[in-house]
Amino acid sequence: MDSSSAYLFSGLDEGQMKKIMAIGKEIPMKKGQQIFREGQEANGVYVLRRGAVELMTVLEKDFDLPISLLRNPGDVFGSSALVPPYQYSLSARCVEEGTLFCMETKALRELALEDHDIGFQIMTNLAEYFLERVKETRQEVKIHFKTLLSSTRS
Amino acid sequence: MDSSSAYLFSGLDEGQMKKIMAIGKEIPMKKGQQIFREGQEANGVYVLRRGAVELMTVLEKDFDLPISLLRNPGDVFGSSALVPPYQYSLSARCVEEGTLFCMETKALRELALEDHDIGFQIMTNLAEYFLERVKETRQEVKIHFKTLLSSTRS
C-alpha cells in the first residue's frame, strides 16, 4: 500500500499495519460499477490498489455532483463508515477497471476498540482528514458567495 | 458542564472527565471581544458556560461570513486546535457577555497521547463532529448549484 496517500493509516507501525491488512481482502472492480451509494449502510472501507474511482453526491434525482476523482494507489474512500451514523456520505463508482482492498467496517471498528493505540491513530487521522474536507467545502461556499456579492455590486 | 452538547467529551466517564477538567480554567468574556481569529495558532479549546459566541469565516477583507451562533452551555468550539495544522479554522467573537471554560491545547493533546482511552474517545467524537460539518457545508454547496441549475433552465 502506498502509505503516502493512505492517510487513514499514517503513523501506524508495521505490526499494527499487519493487523489491519489481516481484516481486508482484494476485490476486482469493473468500469461503470457502482461500489456504494450515498446514504447506504457502510459495510466497508476501501483502499484503491489500481484503477480509478469517482466520488459523487446526489444533487437531485438522476443528477450527481462529482466531488473527486481518485487514481493514486493507496487512496482511501468510504471512511465515513467508521463514525456514526455509519453510512456512506458519498457515492463511489469505478471509472477505470482495477483492484480495491476492502476492509470490513465491523472488523476495523472492533480492532480500533480493542486496541486503542490503533484506534487513537486512525481516529486522529480521520478527524484531520474530515477537517480538511470541511475547509475545502467551505472554500467552495465562499466562491459562490463572492460571485453573488460581485453580481450585486455590479 | 452540559454533557448533552459537549460532543467532544461524550462517552467519557467521571474519572476521565476529572482529568480533563483539571487542565482547564474559567475565563470571563465581554461583548464584542474577539476570542480568536481564523488561521491563528490554536492554543485553546473552549466550552461555553454562559453567554453567546458567534463563529465566522473571512470571506474577503473586512467581510466575515457568519457560520454559527453558540448559546447553549456546553457548546464546544476551537476544536480544530486538536488536529494538524493546529490552527483555528474559524474566527470566534463574543456576542453576549459570559463565561468560557478554556483548556490549553497542549495539555489536552498530551493527555490524549498519554491516555489512549481518552484520546480514542475524543478523536472519535471529533471525527464524527467534523464529518457532520462536511455534510452540512456540502448541503450549502448543493443549494447554490441547484439555484444555478434552475436559473439556467428557466
Q: What is the pTM of this model?
A: 0.91
Which amino acid belongs to residue B26?
E
| Per-residue pLDDT at B118 exceeds 80 | yes
For residue B145, name the pLDDT band (cuts at 50, 70, 90): confident
More confident residue, B153 or B118: B118
| Per-residue pLDDT at B5 exceeds 60 | no
- Residue B42 touches partner A, C-beta closer than 8 Å: no
> What integer pLDDT is reported at residue B1 of this predicted model?
47
* End-to-end Cα separation, chain A, in angstroms: 52
Mean pLDDT computed over B1-29: 85
Cβ atoms of A53 and A70 within 8 Å: the answer is yes
Task: Find, among A123, A124, A46, A35, the residue nearest to A78 by Cα.
Answer: A46
Q: How many CB atoms lie within 10 A of CB A60?
A: 12
> What integer pLDDT is reported at residue A5 of this predicted model?
54
Of B60, B130, B149, the CB nearest to A134: B130
For residue A145, name the pLDDT band (cuts at 50, 70, 90): confident
Task: Find, among B154, B136, B139, the residue nearest to A58 by Cα.
Answer: B139
Mean pLDDT computed over A47-74: 93
Which amino acid belongs to residue A40?
Q
Name chain A contacts of B57, Cβ cutoff 8 Å: 138, 142
**Most A CBs within 10 Å: which of B131, B143, B153, as the mutation test of the A interface?**
B131
| Per-residue pLDDT at B91 exceeds 80 | yes
Name chain A contacts of B64, Cβ cutoff 8 Å: none
Q: How many CB atoms lie within 10 A of CB B107?
A: 15
Closest chain B C-alpha to A118 CA, distance in angstroms = 9
Name chain A contacts of B130, Cβ cutoff 8 Å: 127, 130-131, 133-134
| Per-residue pLDDT at A85 exceeds 70 | yes
Closest chain A C-alpha to B31 CA, distance in angstroms = 27
Contacts of A125 (CB under 8 A, 6+ apart): A7, A8, A9, A10, A11
Q: Which of residues 11-40 of A touch B (CB under 8 A)?
A: none
| Pairwise CA distance, residues B151 & B109, whole Å | 48
> What integer pLDDT is reported at residue B3 of this predicted model?
41
- Residue A57 touches partner B, C-beta closer than 8 Å: yes
Mean pLDDT computed over B110-138: 94
Name chain B contacts of A57, Cβ cutoff 8 Å: 138, 142
**Most A CBs within 10 Å: which of B90, B124, B144, B148, as the mutation test of the A interface?**
B124
- Residue B131 touches partner A, C-beta closer than 8 Å: yes
Contacts of A119 (CB under 8 A, 6+ apart): A111, A112, A113, B116, B120, B124
> What integer pLDDT is reported at residue B45 of this predicted model?
96
- Residue B114 touches partner A, C-beta closer than 8 Å: no
Name chain A contacts of B65, Cβ cutoff 8 Å: 141-142, 145
Query: Which 3 state secondary structure label does DSSP give A89?
Result: coil
| Per-residue pLDDT at A78 exceeds 80 | yes
